[in-house]
Amino acid sequence: MELKEKTIKDLISKAIKMLEYSYVPYSRFHVGAALLANNGTIYTGCNIENAAYGPSNCAERTAVFKAVSEGVKEFEAIAVVGGPDGRIKDFCPPCGVCRQVLAEFCTRDFKVILAKSIDEYKVFTLEQLLPESFSL
Ligand code: THU
């Protein structure tokens, strides 16, 4: 399904807002995400780090887990932004672990929006970012 320009901008602006909530005392690299469910609800997420490093959670997974924990498992798109000290300098593509988590719930044509600002963004399908993915 094609995403409307208005929807894309709404997701990007919600992802940018989430940069404020990132808990990143270790990397100082803020990431924000906004995940659009098929039912129209938007689940936001930020990265949350931990002194033991391993338990840290990425913004994308925070958003996915918030949705799934509320019984929502069908998604259309996610917007992701990030940068050092919360300032966006470049596109912030999802890490491999987040791509695999998205692949658990999303179809191959799920859209991943990478943004530098409301007006500067690129849209990929999950298939483009994680081809030949593993699933049961
Ligand atoms: N991070 C995310 O939140 N999403 C990604 O897809 C890549 C990395 C976070 C993890 C860590 O808190 C910080 O960015 C630096 O790696």
Count how many domains the chain has: 1
Distance between CA atoms of 55 and 105, rounded to whole angstroms? 22
Domain of residue 108, CATH code = 3.40.140.10
Residue 136 belongs to a domain = no
Distance between CA atoms of 60 and 66, rounded to whole angstroms? 10
Residue 92 belongs to a domain = yes
Is 60 an active-site residue?
A: yes
Q: What pTM value is reported for the model?
A: 0.98
Residues spanned by the domain of 24: 5-129
* pLDDT per position as a tens digit, 26-50: 999 999 999 999 999 999 999 999 9
Residue 28 belongs to a domain = yes
Residue 134 belongs to a domain = no
Residue 135 belongs to a domain = no
* pLDDT per position as a tens digit, 90-125: 999 999 999 999 999 999 999 999 999 999 999 999
Residue 119 belongs to a domain = yes
* Binding pocket residue ranges, ligand 1, CB within 6 Å: 24, 27, 29, 31, 47, 49, 56, 58-60, 94-95, 98
Q: Residue 9: which of 91, 103, 77, 63 has the closest Cα?
A: 77
